[in-house]
């Protein structure tokens, strides 16, 4: 999927913080692109080693 929209500027909140335009957070095509190109192709930490117990080792966890 090709990125059909790219944010070109940031916005300032009332407190002066910078943020992306609203579309960056709500658009379905941006969400899908992030899932495919950012989260879908890299290893992510999905827990702590201490949570694995005696069966320590890699586990596959799907992030939706």
17-54 tens-digit pLDDT: 888 888 888 999 888 888 888 777 777 777 777 777 77
Distance of alpha carbon 16 from alpha carbon 11, whole angstroms: 9
For the entire predicted model, the pTM comes to 0.46
Task: Give yes or no for a contact between 20 and 13, defined as CB atoms under 8 angstroms apart.
Answer: no
Which residue has better confidence, 11 or 30?
30
Which residue has better confidence, 25 or 63?
25
Mean pLDDT of 6-26: 81
């Amino acid at each position: 999927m090709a990125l059909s929209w790219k944010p070109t500027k940031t916005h300032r909140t009332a407190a002066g913080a910078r943020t992306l335009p609203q579309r960056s957070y709500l658009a379905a095509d941006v969400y899908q692109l992030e899932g495919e190109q950012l989260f879908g192709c890299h290893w992510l930490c999905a827990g702590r080693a201490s949570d694995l117990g005696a069966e320590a080792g890699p586990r596959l966890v799907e992030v939706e």
